[in-house]
Amino acid sequence: MTAHSDVPRSRRERPAKPALTRAGIVAAAVAIMRADGLGKVTMRRLARELDTGPASLYVYVRNTAELHAAILDELLGAVEAAPGGGDWRERLEQVLTSYTAVLFRHRGLAKAALVARPRGEHYLRLIETLLALLDEGGVPPGQAAWGVDLLLQYATATAAEHAPGDGDAEVAREEWDAVAGALRGASAQTHPHVAGLAAELVSGRPETRISWGFRALIDGILHTPLPEGDTGDTRN
Amino acid sequence: MTAHSDVPRSRRERPAKPALTRAGIVAAAVAIMRADGLGKVTMRRLARELDTGPASLYVYVRNTAELHAAILDELLGAVEAAPGGGDWRERLEQVLTSYTAVLFRHRGLAKAALVARPRGEHYLRLIETLLALLDEGGVPPGQAAWGVDLLLQYATATAAEHAPGDGDAEVAREEWDAVAGALRGASAQTHPHVAGLAAELVSGRPETRISWGFRALIDGILHTPLPEGDTGDTRN
DNA sequence: ACCTGAACACCGTTCAAGT
DNA sequence: ACCTGAACACCGTTCAAGT
Protein backbone atom coordinates (compact mmCIF):
# COMPACT_ATOMS: atom_id res chain seq x y z
CA MET A 1 0.00 0.00 0.00
CA THR A 2 2.75 2.39 0.85
CA ALA A 3 5.91 1.22 -0.88
CA HIS A 4 4.19 0.10 -4.04
CA SER A 5 3.80 3.01 -6.36
CA ASP A 6 0.92 2.81 -8.86
CA VAL A 7 1.48 3.29 -12.50
CA PRO A 8 1.35 7.03 -13.00
CA ARG A 9 -2.28 7.90 -13.73
CA SER A 10 -2.97 9.38 -17.09
CA ARG A 11 -4.23 12.93 -16.76
CA ARG A 12 -7.54 12.09 -18.29
CA GLU A 13 -8.19 8.80 -16.53
CA ARG A 14 -11.27 10.28 -14.85
CA PRO A 15 -12.86 13.59 -15.74
CA ALA A 16 -9.82 15.68 -14.96
CA LYS A 17 -10.51 18.10 -12.14
CA PRO A 18 -11.09 21.28 -14.13
CA ALA A 19 -9.25 24.45 -13.20
CA LEU A 20 -11.33 26.81 -11.09
CA THR A 21 -12.84 29.74 -12.94
CA ARG A 22 -15.59 32.12 -11.99
CA ALA A 23 -17.74 30.80 -14.83
CA GLY A 24 -17.18 27.22 -13.74
CA ILE A 25 -18.07 28.06 -10.17
CA VAL A 26 -21.30 29.77 -11.19
CA ALA A 27 -22.19 26.85 -13.48
CA ALA A 28 -21.66 24.38 -10.65
CA ALA A 29 -23.75 26.58 -8.37
CA VAL A 30 -26.60 26.58 -10.88
CA ALA A 31 -26.40 22.80 -11.11
CA ILE A 32 -26.66 22.39 -7.35
CA MET A 33 -29.59 24.79 -7.26
CA ARG A 34 -31.47 22.89 -9.92
CA ALA A 35 -30.81 19.61 -8.16
CA ASP A 36 -31.39 20.53 -4.51
CA GLY A 37 -32.61 24.12 -4.29
CA LEU A 38 -30.82 27.37 -3.53
CA GLY A 39 -30.68 26.52 0.14
CA LYS A 40 -28.04 23.93 -0.66
CA VAL A 41 -25.88 26.31 -2.65
CA THR A 42 -23.41 26.96 0.14
CA MET A 43 -19.74 27.66 -0.12
CA ARG A 44 -18.95 24.36 1.55
CA ARG A 45 -21.24 22.27 -0.63
CA LEU A 46 -20.00 24.03 -3.74
CA ALA A 47 -16.41 23.39 -2.74
CA ARG A 48 -17.16 19.72 -2.16
CA GLU A 49 -18.76 19.53 -5.60
CA LEU A 50 -15.72 21.13 -7.18
CA ASP A 51 -13.44 18.86 -5.24
CA THR A 52 -11.67 21.60 -3.34
CA GLY A 53 -11.87 23.46 -0.05
CA PRO A 54 -14.25 26.35 0.62
CA ALA A 55 -11.41 28.81 0.99
CA SER A 56 -10.52 28.36 -2.67
CA LEU A 57 -13.80 29.88 -3.82
CA TYR A 58 -13.09 33.20 -2.21
CA VAL A 59 -10.56 33.92 -4.92
CA TYR A 60 -13.43 34.24 -7.42
CA VAL A 61 -16.48 35.17 -5.36
CA ARG A 62 -16.62 37.81 -2.66
CA ASN A 63 -19.26 36.12 -0.55
CA THR A 64 -22.41 34.03 -0.63
CA ALA A 65 -24.69 36.95 -1.56
CA GLU A 66 -22.59 37.76 -4.63
CA LEU A 67 -22.71 34.11 -5.61
CA HIS A 68 -26.50 34.07 -5.48
CA ALA A 69 -26.74 37.27 -7.50
CA ALA A 70 -24.48 35.73 -10.14
CA ILE A 71 -26.75 32.69 -10.34
CA LEU A 72 -29.77 34.90 -10.90
CA ASP A 73 -28.17 36.87 -13.70
CA GLU A 74 -27.31 33.56 -15.34
CA LEU A 75 -30.95 32.43 -15.24
CA LEU A 76 -32.14 35.80 -16.51
CA GLY A 77 -30.83 34.75 -19.87
CA ALA A 78 -34.13 32.88 -20.26
CA VAL A 79 -36.27 36.02 -20.05
CA GLU A 80 -37.74 36.79 -23.44
CA ALA A 81 -36.41 40.15 -24.53
CA ALA A 82 -38.57 40.60 -27.60
CA PRO A 83 -42.13 39.59 -26.78
CA GLY A 84 -44.72 38.86 -29.42
CA GLY A 85 -47.84 40.78 -30.36
CA GLY A 86 -50.09 43.24 -28.65
CA ASP A 87 -49.67 46.89 -27.76
CA TRP A 88 -46.86 48.14 -25.56
CA ARG A 89 -48.76 47.51 -22.32
CA GLU A 90 -49.38 43.89 -23.22
CA ARG A 91 -45.82 43.32 -24.31
CA LEU A 92 -44.56 45.01 -21.16
CA GLU A 93 -46.67 42.68 -19.08
CA GLN A 94 -45.34 39.72 -21.06
CA VAL A 95 -41.73 40.59 -20.29
CA LEU A 96 -42.50 41.13 -16.62
CA THR A 97 -44.41 37.88 -16.43
CA SER A 98 -41.47 36.10 -18.02
CA TYR A 99 -39.14 37.63 -15.42
CA THR A 100 -41.51 36.63 -12.64
CA ALA A 101 -41.68 33.08 -13.96
CA VAL A 102 -37.91 32.69 -13.59
CA LEU A 103 -38.06 33.89 -10.01
CA PHE A 104 -41.09 31.74 -9.24
CA ARG A 105 -39.08 28.66 -9.92
CA HIS A 106 -36.72 29.63 -7.11
CA ARG A 107 -38.12 31.68 -4.29
CA GLY A 108 -34.73 31.93 -2.63
CA LEU A 109 -33.38 33.67 -5.69
CA ALA A 110 -36.08 36.32 -5.45
CA LYS A 111 -35.16 36.96 -1.85
CA ALA A 112 -31.53 37.27 -2.84
CA ALA A 113 -32.39 39.67 -5.67
CA LEU A 114 -34.16 42.01 -3.29
CA VAL A 115 -31.06 42.44 -1.25
CA ALA A 116 -28.20 42.07 -3.72
CA ARG A 117 -29.39 43.34 -7.09
CA PRO A 118 -27.88 41.42 -9.95
CA ARG A 119 -25.80 43.56 -12.25
CA GLY A 120 -24.72 41.25 -15.04
CA GLU A 121 -25.44 41.56 -18.73
CA HIS A 122 -28.78 39.77 -18.65
CA TYR A 123 -30.16 42.13 -16.05
CA LEU A 124 -28.96 45.11 -18.03
CA ARG A 125 -30.68 43.82 -21.13
CA LEU A 126 -33.91 43.38 -19.18
CA ILE A 127 -33.82 47.02 -18.07
CA GLU A 128 -33.15 48.11 -21.62
CA THR A 129 -36.17 46.16 -22.85
CA LEU A 130 -38.45 47.64 -20.21
CA LEU A 131 -37.29 51.19 -20.89
CA ALA A 132 -37.81 50.72 -24.61
CA LEU A 133 -41.40 49.57 -24.09
CA LEU A 134 -42.20 52.42 -21.71
CA ASP A 135 -40.72 54.83 -24.22
CA GLU A 136 -42.84 53.34 -26.95
CA GLY A 137 -45.89 53.94 -24.75
CA GLY A 138 -45.03 57.60 -24.43
CA VAL A 139 -44.17 57.44 -20.72
CA PRO A 140 -42.05 60.50 -19.87
CA PRO A 141 -38.39 59.47 -19.48
CA GLY A 142 -38.04 60.33 -15.78
CA GLN A 143 -41.16 58.41 -14.87
CA ALA A 144 -39.97 55.50 -16.99
CA ALA A 145 -36.62 55.42 -15.19
CA TRP A 146 -38.16 55.39 -11.73
CA GLY A 147 -40.97 53.16 -12.93
CA VAL A 148 -38.66 50.37 -14.04
CA ASP A 149 -37.48 50.12 -10.48
CA LEU A 150 -41.06 49.92 -9.26
CA LEU A 151 -42.02 47.22 -11.74
CA LEU A 152 -38.99 45.02 -11.10
CA GLN A 153 -39.29 45.41 -7.37
CA TYR A 154 -42.94 44.42 -7.47
CA ALA A 155 -42.20 41.36 -9.57
CA THR A 156 -39.31 40.36 -7.35
CA ALA A 157 -41.13 40.90 -4.07
CA THR A 158 -44.15 38.99 -5.32
CA ALA A 159 -41.96 36.04 -6.18
CA ALA A 160 -40.19 36.23 -2.84
CA GLU A 161 -43.54 36.20 -1.14
CA HIS A 162 -45.67 33.83 -3.15
CA ALA A 163 -43.33 31.44 -4.88
CA PRO A 164 -43.54 27.91 -3.56
CA GLY A 165 -40.90 27.65 -0.85
CA ASP A 166 -37.58 26.09 -1.62
CA GLY A 167 -38.75 23.51 0.83
CA ASP A 168 -42.15 22.68 2.18
CA ALA A 169 -45.37 23.19 0.19
CA GLU A 170 -47.31 21.88 3.19
CA VAL A 171 -45.96 24.60 5.42
CA ALA A 172 -46.73 27.30 2.84
CA ARG A 173 -50.34 26.15 2.66
CA GLU A 174 -50.62 26.26 6.46
CA GLU A 175 -49.11 29.74 6.54
CA TRP A 176 -51.62 30.98 4.02
CA ASP A 177 -54.55 29.40 5.83
CA ALA A 178 -53.40 31.01 9.06
CA VAL A 179 -53.25 34.47 7.49
CA ALA A 180 -56.61 34.02 5.78
CA GLY A 181 -58.05 32.77 9.03
CA ALA A 182 -56.78 35.78 10.95
CA LEU A 183 -58.41 38.12 8.43
CA ARG A 184 -61.70 36.25 8.36
CA GLY A 185 -61.72 36.10 12.14
CA ALA A 186 -61.50 39.87 12.52
CA SER A 187 -64.29 41.34 14.61
CA ALA A 188 -66.81 43.56 12.83
CA GLN A 189 -66.80 45.79 15.90
CA THR A 190 -63.11 46.54 16.13
CA HIS A 191 -62.14 46.01 12.48
CA PRO A 192 -65.20 46.75 10.37
CA HIS A 193 -63.38 47.25 7.07
CA VAL A 194 -61.32 44.08 7.42
CA ALA A 195 -64.41 42.11 8.38
CA GLY A 196 -66.39 43.55 5.48
CA LEU A 197 -63.68 42.81 2.93
CA ALA A 198 -62.35 39.51 4.31
CA ALA A 199 -63.29 37.62 1.17
CA GLU A 200 -61.77 40.16 -1.21
CA LEU A 201 -58.56 40.39 0.81
CA VAL A 202 -57.76 36.77 0.04
CA SER A 203 -59.51 36.36 -3.31
CA GLY A 204 -58.07 35.68 -6.72
CA ARG A 205 -55.46 33.37 -8.08
CA PRO A 206 -51.87 34.60 -7.65
CA GLU A 207 -51.44 35.13 -11.41
CA THR A 208 -54.61 37.20 -11.55
CA ARG A 209 -53.49 39.43 -8.71
CA ILE A 210 -50.02 39.84 -10.16
CA SER A 211 -51.43 40.77 -13.53
CA TRP A 212 -53.76 43.34 -11.93
CA GLY A 213 -50.78 44.70 -9.99
CA PHE A 214 -48.74 45.16 -13.15
CA ARG A 215 -51.56 47.05 -14.79
CA ALA A 216 -52.15 49.27 -11.76
CA LEU A 217 -48.43 49.99 -11.57
CA ILE A 218 -48.13 50.85 -15.25
CA ASP A 219 -51.13 53.14 -15.00
CA GLY A 220 -49.73 54.91 -11.95
CA ILE A 221 -46.29 55.29 -13.54
CA LEU A 222 -47.85 56.77 -16.64
CA HIS A 223 -49.90 59.35 -14.74
CA THR A 224 -47.71 60.38 -11.81
CA PRO A 225 -45.23 63.16 -12.60
CA LEU A 226 -41.88 63.23 -10.82
CA PRO A 227 -41.45 65.83 -8.10
CA GLU A 228 -39.64 68.90 -9.34
CA GLY A 229 -36.04 69.60 -8.52
CA ASP A 230 -34.89 66.22 -7.35
CA THR A 231 -33.17 64.68 -10.28
CA GLY A 232 -29.61 64.80 -9.04
CA ASP A 233 -27.98 61.72 -7.60
CA THR A 234 -28.19 62.76 -3.99
CA ARG A 235 -28.46 59.32 -2.56
CA ASN A 236 -27.02 59.47 0.96
CA MET B 1 -14.75 24.92 47.29
CA THR B 2 -16.55 21.60 47.08
CA ALA B 3 -17.48 20.48 50.59
CA HIS B 4 -18.43 23.91 51.82
CA SER B 5 -22.09 24.48 51.09
CA ASP B 6 -23.24 28.11 50.74
CA VAL B 7 -26.10 29.52 52.71
CA PRO B 8 -29.20 28.60 50.73
CA ARG B 9 -29.83 31.44 48.30
CA SER B 10 -33.02 33.38 48.75
CA ARG B 11 -35.26 33.02 45.74
CA ARG B 12 -35.03 36.67 44.90
CA GLU B 13 -31.31 37.12 45.51
CA ARG B 14 -30.80 37.87 41.83
CA PRO B 15 -33.59 38.57 39.40
CA ALA B 16 -35.22 35.17 39.75
CA LYS B 17 -35.14 33.30 36.47
CA PRO B 18 -38.62 34.09 35.18
CA ALA B 19 -40.86 31.33 33.92
CA LEU B 20 -40.82 31.00 30.14
CA THR B 21 -43.78 32.50 28.35
CA ARG B 22 -44.29 33.38 24.72
CA ALA B 23 -44.53 37.06 25.62
CA GLY B 24 -41.33 36.90 27.62
CA ILE B 25 -39.54 35.16 24.79
CA VAL B 26 -40.65 37.78 22.26
CA ALA B 27 -39.66 40.58 24.64
CA ALA B 28 -36.19 39.10 25.07
CA ALA B 29 -35.92 38.72 21.30
CA VAL B 30 -36.77 42.38 20.80
CA ALA B 31 -34.13 43.33 23.36
CA ILE B 32 -31.45 41.34 21.58
CA MET B 33 -32.46 42.87 18.26
CA ARG B 34 -32.23 46.40 19.61
CA ALA B 35 -28.85 45.67 21.13
CA ASP B 36 -27.16 43.64 18.40
CA GLY B 37 -29.41 43.52 15.35
CA LEU B 38 -31.81 40.87 14.07
CA GLY B 39 -28.93 38.75 12.86
CA LYS B 40 -28.13 37.94 16.46
CA VAL B 41 -31.67 36.89 17.31
CA THR B 42 -31.06 33.18 17.03
CA MET B 43 -32.64 30.39 18.99
CA ARG B 44 -29.35 29.62 20.67
CA ARG B 45 -28.55 33.20 21.63
CA LEU B 46 -32.10 33.72 22.86
CA ALA B 47 -31.89 30.58 24.96
CA ARG B 48 -28.60 31.73 26.46
CA GLU B 49 -30.16 35.09 27.31
CA LEU B 50 -33.10 33.36 28.98
CA ASP B 51 -30.76 31.03 30.79
CA THR B 52 -32.07 27.85 29.25
CA GLY B 53 -31.37 25.53 26.35
CA PRO B 54 -32.54 26.14 22.79
CA ALA B 55 -34.87 23.15 22.85
CA SER B 56 -37.02 24.84 25.50
CA LEU B 57 -38.05 27.61 23.13
CA TYR B 58 -39.71 25.25 20.71
CA VAL B 59 -42.53 24.82 23.17
CA TYR B 60 -43.60 28.42 22.45
CA VAL B 61 -42.28 29.22 19.01
CA ARG B 62 -42.56 27.01 15.98
CA ASN B 63 -39.34 28.13 14.32
CA THR B 64 -37.06 31.07 13.70
CA ALA B 65 -39.26 32.59 10.99
CA GLU B 66 -42.26 32.70 13.30
CA LEU B 67 -40.12 34.31 15.96
CA HIS B 68 -39.07 37.08 13.59
CA ALA B 69 -42.65 37.69 12.50
CA ALA B 70 -43.68 38.00 16.15
CA ILE B 71 -40.96 40.59 16.71
CA LEU B 72 -42.24 42.64 13.80
CA ASP B 73 -45.83 42.63 14.99
CA GLU B 74 -44.57 43.83 18.34
CA LEU B 75 -42.77 46.79 16.74
CA LEU B 76 -45.78 47.60 14.58
CA GLY B 77 -47.39 48.95 17.73
CA ALA B 78 -45.41 52.12 17.01
CA VAL B 79 -47.13 52.80 13.67
CA GLU B 80 -49.45 55.75 14.00
CA ALA B 81 -52.96 54.54 13.30
CA ALA B 82 -54.67 57.93 13.25
CA PRO B 83 -52.55 60.36 11.24
CA GLY B 84 -53.01 64.11 11.43
CA GLY B 85 -54.33 66.51 8.81
CA GLY B 86 -54.54 66.51 5.06
CA ASP B 87 -56.82 64.71 2.66
CA TRP B 88 -57.09 60.94 2.52
CA ARG B 89 -54.16 60.55 0.12
CA GLU B 90 -51.86 62.50 2.40
CA ARG B 91 -52.95 60.62 5.49
CA LEU B 92 -52.57 57.33 3.66
CA GLU B 93 -49.04 58.26 2.74
CA GLN B 94 -48.35 59.23 6.35
CA VAL B 95 -49.39 55.84 7.66
CA LEU B 96 -47.37 54.04 5.01
CA THR B 97 -44.34 56.20 5.73
CA SER B 98 -44.68 55.44 9.42
CA TYR B 99 -44.80 51.72 8.63
CA THR B 100 -41.77 52.06 6.38
CA ALA B 101 -39.88 53.89 9.11
CA VAL B 102 -40.26 50.95 11.48
CA LEU B 103 -38.91 48.57 8.87
CA PHE B 104 -36.09 50.93 7.93
CA ARG B 105 -34.69 50.62 11.39
CA HIS B 106 -34.25 46.90 10.85
CA ARG B 107 -33.71 45.69 7.33
CA GLY B 108 -33.72 42.09 8.46
CA LEU B 109 -37.22 42.50 9.75
CA ALA B 110 -38.40 43.69 6.36
CA LYS B 111 -36.88 40.63 4.73
CA ALA B 112 -38.60 38.44 7.28
CA ALA B 113 -41.94 40.19 6.70
CA LEU B 114 -41.78 39.45 2.97
CA VAL B 115 -41.62 35.76 3.63
CA ALA B 116 -43.55 35.22 6.85
CA ARG B 117 -46.29 37.83 7.00
CA PRO B 118 -46.98 38.94 10.54
CA ARG B 119 -50.51 38.23 11.66
CA GLY B 120 -50.76 39.72 15.13
CA GLU B 121 -53.08 42.45 16.32
CA HIS B 122 -50.88 45.34 15.32
CA TYR B 123 -50.71 44.17 11.73
CA LEU B 124 -54.45 43.70 11.64
CA ARG B 125 -54.98 47.23 12.92
CA LEU B 126 -52.69 48.56 10.21
CA ILE B 127 -54.74 46.88 7.50
CA GLU B 128 -57.92 48.25 9.02
CA THR B 129 -56.48 51.76 8.97
CA LEU B 130 -55.43 51.50 5.34
CA LEU B 131 -58.77 50.11 4.24
CA ALA B 132 -60.60 52.89 6.06
CA LEU B 133 -58.55 55.56 4.28
CA LEU B 134 -59.03 53.98 0.86
CA ASP B 135 -62.74 53.75 1.56
CA GLU B 136 -62.79 57.41 2.52
CA GLY B 137 -61.18 58.20 -0.81
CA GLY B 138 -63.90 56.38 -2.67
CA VAL B 139 -61.72 53.55 -3.89
CA PRO B 140 -63.97 50.63 -4.88
CA PRO B 141 -63.84 47.92 -2.19
CA GLY B 142 -62.29 45.19 -4.33
CA GLN B 143 -59.54 47.47 -5.55
CA ALA B 144 -58.94 48.62 -1.98
CA ALA B 145 -58.59 45.04 -0.76
CA TRP B 146 -56.06 44.10 -3.41
CA GLY B 147 -54.45 47.51 -3.20
CA VAL B 148 -53.60 47.20 0.49
CA ASP B 149 -51.50 44.20 -0.42
CA LEU B 150 -49.76 46.19 -3.12
CA LEU B 151 -49.01 49.12 -0.83
CA LEU B 152 -47.69 47.04 2.06
CA GLN B 153 -45.64 44.89 -0.22
CA TYR B 154 -44.07 47.94 -1.82
CA ALA B 155 -43.25 49.46 1.55
CA THR B 156 -41.82 46.21 2.83
CA ALA B 157 -39.78 45.44 -0.25
CA THR B 158 -38.38 48.95 -0.33
CA ALA B 159 -37.23 48.61 3.25
CA ALA B 160 -35.74 45.19 2.56
CA GLU B 161 -33.86 46.67 -0.34
CA HIS B 162 -32.80 50.11 0.79
CA ALA B 163 -32.66 50.05 4.56
CA PRO B 164 -29.14 50.33 5.90
CA GLY B 165 -27.95 46.75 6.34
CA ASP B 166 -28.01 45.12 9.72
CA GLY B 167 -24.30 45.16 9.29
CA ASP B 168 -22.00 47.11 7.10
CA ALA B 169 -22.79 50.60 5.79
CA GLU B 170 -19.51 50.56 3.89
CA VAL B 171 -20.49 47.49 1.95
CA ALA B 172 -23.93 48.95 1.12
CA ARG B 173 -22.29 52.04 -0.32
CA GLU B 174 -19.97 49.90 -2.45
CA GLU B 175 -22.91 47.85 -3.67
CA TRP B 176 -24.78 50.97 -4.72
CA ASP B 177 -21.78 52.44 -6.47
CA ALA B 178 -21.29 49.19 -8.35
CA VAL B 179 -24.88 49.15 -9.59
CA ALA B 180 -24.80 52.82 -10.53
CA GLY B 181 -21.51 52.25 -12.29
CA ALA B 182 -22.89 49.34 -14.28
CA LEU B 183 -25.80 51.50 -15.46
CA ARG B 184 -23.65 54.49 -16.33
CA GLY B 185 -21.20 52.26 -18.13
CA ALA B 186 -23.84 50.88 -20.48
CA SER B 187 -23.00 51.31 -24.14
CA ALA B 188 -25.15 53.70 -26.15
CA GLN B 189 -24.92 51.22 -29.04
CA THR B 190 -26.22 48.13 -27.31
CA HIS B 191 -28.32 49.77 -24.57
CA PRO B 192 -29.45 53.14 -25.86
CA HIS B 193 -32.28 53.65 -23.39
CA VAL B 194 -30.19 52.74 -20.38
CA ALA B 195 -27.39 54.98 -21.57
CA GLY B 196 -29.77 57.85 -22.21
CA LEU B 197 -31.44 57.57 -18.82
CA ALA B 198 -28.44 56.59 -16.68
CA ALA B 199 -28.74 59.72 -14.56
CA GLU B 200 -32.47 59.35 -13.97
CA LEU B 201 -32.16 55.67 -13.15
CA VAL B 202 -30.13 56.48 -10.06
CA SER B 203 -31.46 59.94 -9.23
CA GLY B 204 -33.39 61.10 -6.21
CA ARG B 205 -33.13 60.59 -2.51
CA PRO B 206 -34.67 57.33 -1.28
CA GLU B 207 -37.47 59.17 0.54
CA THR B 208 -38.35 61.07 -2.60
CA ARG B 209 -38.55 57.92 -4.67
CA ILE B 210 -40.60 56.09 -2.06
CA SER B 211 -43.03 58.96 -1.82
CA TRP B 212 -43.39 59.06 -5.61
CA GLY B 213 -43.93 55.30 -5.57
CA PHE B 214 -46.71 55.55 -3.02
CA ARG B 215 -48.47 58.18 -5.09
CA ALA B 216 -48.12 56.20 -8.31
CA LEU B 217 -49.44 53.11 -6.55
CA ILE B 218 -52.42 54.90 -5.06
CA ASP B 219 -53.26 56.39 -8.43
CA GLY B 220 -53.04 53.03 -10.14
CA ILE B 221 -55.15 51.31 -7.49
CA LEU B 222 -57.79 54.00 -7.80
CA HIS B 223 -58.05 53.69 -11.58
CA THR B 224 -57.55 50.00 -12.31
CA PRO B 225 -60.70 47.88 -12.09
CA LEU B 226 -60.46 44.28 -10.96
CA PRO B 227 -60.84 41.61 -13.63
CA GLU B 228 -64.32 40.21 -13.76
CA GLY B 229 -65.21 36.81 -12.40
CA ASP B 230 -62.21 36.12 -10.21
CA THR B 231 -63.28 37.06 -6.76
CA GLY B 232 -63.47 33.60 -5.24
CA ASP B 233 -60.65 32.32 -3.07
CA THR B 234 -59.19 30.02 -5.64
CA ARG B 235 -55.62 30.24 -4.45
CA ASN B 236 -53.90 26.99 -5.41
C1' DA C 1 -1.25 34.22 -7.98
C1' DC C 2 -3.66 30.52 -6.78
C1' DC C 3 -4.93 26.86 -3.83
C1' DT C 4 -5.46 24.38 0.47
C1' DG C 5 -6.35 22.13 5.35
C1' DA C 6 -7.54 23.42 9.43
C1' DA C 7 -9.53 26.24 12.58
C1' DC C 8 -12.75 29.77 14.68
C1' DA C 9 -17.07 30.75 15.94
C1' DC C 10 -21.12 29.80 15.23
C1' DC C 11 -26.13 27.85 13.36
C1' DG C 12 -31.52 25.20 13.54
C1' DT C 13 -33.75 21.48 15.08
C1' DT C 14 -34.70 16.92 17.21
C1' DC C 15 -34.46 13.41 20.69
C1' DA C 16 -34.62 10.78 24.83
C1' DA C 17 -34.70 11.61 29.36
C1' DG C 18 -35.99 13.96 33.28
C1' DT C 19 -39.35 16.69 36.52
C1' DA D 1 -46.94 19.60 30.26
C1' DC D 2 -42.84 21.63 30.42
C1' DC D 3 -37.95 21.72 30.42
C1' DT D 4 -33.33 20.11 29.45
C1' DG D 5 -28.45 18.37 27.85
C1' DA D 6 -26.60 16.45 24.31
C1' DA D 7 -26.29 15.33 19.77
C1' DC D 8 -26.83 15.58 14.58
C1' DA D 9 -25.74 17.82 10.73
C1' DC D 10 -24.46 21.51 9.19
C1' DC D 11 -22.91 26.88 8.25
C1' DG D 12 -19.46 31.48 6.47
C1' DT D 13 -15.18 33.17 6.60
C1' DT D 14 -10.22 33.72 7.72
C1' DC D 15 -5.52 32.30 8.25
C1' DA D 16 -0.96 30.52 7.69
C1' DA D 17 1.24 27.61 4.86
C1' DG D 18 2.18 25.60 0.67
C1' DT D 19 2.94 25.46 -4.70
* Residues 34-53 of chain A in contact with strand D via CB under 7 angstroms: 40, 42-45, 53
* Distance C11 C1' – B64 CA (angstroms): 11
pLDDT value for B6? 36
pLDDT value for B11? 34
Q: What's the distance, CA A183 to chain centroid? A: 28
- CATH number listed for the domain at residues B12-61: 1.10.10.60
pLDDT value for A83? 76
The least confident of A162-166, B164-168, B176-180, B225-229 is: B164-168
Listed by start position, the domains of chain B span 12-61, 81-223
pTM for the complete prediction? 0.86
Q: Decide whether B12-61 matches B81-223 in CATH topology.
A: no
User: By C-alpha distance, which of A41, A39, A20 is closest to A30?
Assistant: A41
B156 and B113 in contact (C-beta within 8 Å)?
A: yes
Whether the pLDDT of residue A125 is over 70: the answer is yes
The answer for residues whose C-beta is within 8 angstroms of residue B21's C-beta and 6 or more apart is: B60
H helix runs in A119-197, sequence order: 121-136, 141-162, 169-184, 192-196
Q: Which amino acid is at A33?
A: M
Burial of residue A230 (CB within 10 Å: 0-12, 13-18, 19+) is: middle
pLDDT value for B105? 85
B147 and B127 in contact (C-beta within 8 Å)?
A: no
Half-sphere exposure of A142 (CA within 13 A, CB side): 15
The least confident of A36-45, A65-74, A179-188, B52-61 is: A179-188
Residue at shortest CA–C1' distance from D4? B53
Question: Model confidence at B172, in pLDDT bands (50, 70, 90)?
Answer: low
Candidates B63, B146, B190, B207, partner chain A, best to mutate (most A CBs within 10 A)? B146
To which CATH superfamily is domain B81-223 assigned?
Answer: Tetracycline Repressor, domain 2 (1.10.357.10)
Question: Model confidence at B18, in pLDDT bands (50, 70, 90)?
Answer: confident
Whether the pLDDT of residue A236 is over 70: the answer is no
Q: Is the CB of B169 under 7 A from strand D?
A: no
* Distance D16 C1' – A56 CA (angstroms): 14
Burial of residue A118 (CB within 10 Å: 0-12, 13-18, 19+) is: buried
Give the span between the Cα atoms of A155 and A94, in whole angstroms: 12
The mean pLDDT of chain B is: 84
Give the span between the Cα atoms of A79 and A102, in whole angstroms: 7
Distances (CA, A) of A24 to A43, A61, A195, B21, B56: 14, 12, 54, 50, 44
pLDDT more than 70, % of chain A: 84
pLDDT value for A225? 97
Question: Model confidence at B114, in pLDDT bands (50, 70, 90)?
Answer: confident
Residues B73-103 pLDDT 10s: 999 999 987 777 889 999 999 999 999 999 9
B49 secondary structure, DSSP code: H
For residue B63, the distance in angstroms to the closest alpha carbon of chain A comes to 12
Long-range contacts of A160-164 (CB under 8 A, 24+ apart): A160/A103, A160/A107, A160/A110, A160/A111, A160/A113, A160/A114, A160/B114, A160/B115, A160/B157, A161/B114, A161/B115, A161/B117, A161/B153, A162/A104, A162/A206, A163/A103, A163/A104, A163/A105, A163/A106, A163/A107, A163/A110, A164/A104, A164/A107
Averaged pLDDT for residues A178-206: 88
Averaged pLDDT for residues A65-89: 88
Inter-chain touch A234–B204, beta carbons under 8 Å: yes
Highest mean pLDDT among A8-17, A193-202, B115-124: A193-202
The least confident of A192-196, B40-44, B108-112, B151-155 is: B108-112
Averaged pLDDT for residues A47-60: 93
B92 and B137 in contact (C-beta within 8 Å)?
A: yes
Whether the pLDDT of residue B197 is over 50: the answer is yes
pLDDT more than 90, % of chain A: 54
Question: Model confidence at B185, in pLDDT bands (50, 70, 90)?
Answer: confident
Residue by residue, DSSP assigns B61-102 as: -S-HHHHHHHHHHHHGGGS-SS--SS-HHHHHHHHHHHHHHH
Averaged pLDDT for residues A9-37: 76
User: By C-alpha distance, which of A197, A203, A198, A196 is closest to A184?
Assistant: A198
Question: Model confidence at B176, in pLDDT bands (50, 70, 90)?
Answer: confident
The mean pLDDT of chain A is: 84
Whether the pLDDT of residue B49 is over 50: the answer is yes
Question: Model confidence at B184, in pLDDT bands (50, 70, 90)?
Answer: confident
Does B142 contact chain A (CB < 8 Å)? yes
Chain B CB contacts of A196 under 8 Å are 141
Averaged pLDDT for residues B168-185: 71
Higher pLDDT: A72 or B14? It is: A72
Whether the pLDDT of residue B222 is over 70: the answer is yes
Give the span between the Cα atoms of B193 and A135, in whole angstroms: 9
For residue A42, the distance in angstroms to the closest alpha carbon of chain B comes to 18
Q: What's the distance, CA A198 to chain centroid? A: 30
Q: Give chain B's radius of gyration (CA, Å).
A: 23
Whether the pLDDT of residue B27 is over 90: the answer is yes
